């Protein structure tokens, strides 16, 4: 296996969050993780997938076009 396994501090740094956020993702089973003894590691691909799944593309609208009421 050549994929890097990251600890929660490294994941928090990649995501630009506190350590609490990746820990909560693990606790809620919202991200793939690996348990090695009492240590928890997150595959780099799982972090990339997490980011990709939550990436929102911008909406492009014509300038000056009236907005439709909902």
Q: Is position 41 within any domain?
A: yes
Model pTM score: 0.77
Structural domain for 20, as ranges? 5-53
Q: How many domains does the chain have?
A: 1
Which H/E stretch holds residue 2? Answer: none
Strand partners, 40: 35
Which H/E stretch holds residue 25? Answer: helix 20-27
Q: Is position 68 within any domain?
A: no
Q: Is position 34 within any domain?
A: yes
Q: Which tokens is 48 given?
A: 């990339």
Q: How many CB atoms lie within 10 A of CB 19?
A: 14
Q: What digits encode the pLDDT tens for the residues 4-44? A: 999 999 999 999 999 999 999 999 999 999 999 999 999 99
């Amino acid at each position: 296996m050549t994929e890097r396994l990251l600890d929660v501090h490294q994941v928090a740094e990649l995501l630009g969050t506190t350590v609490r956020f990746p820990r909560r993702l693990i606790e809620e089973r919202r991200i793939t993780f690996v348990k090695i003894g009492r240590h928890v590691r997150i595959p780099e691909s799982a972090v990339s997938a997490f980011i990709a799944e939550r990436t929102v593309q911008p909406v492009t609208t014509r300038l000056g076009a009236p907005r439709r009421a909902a």
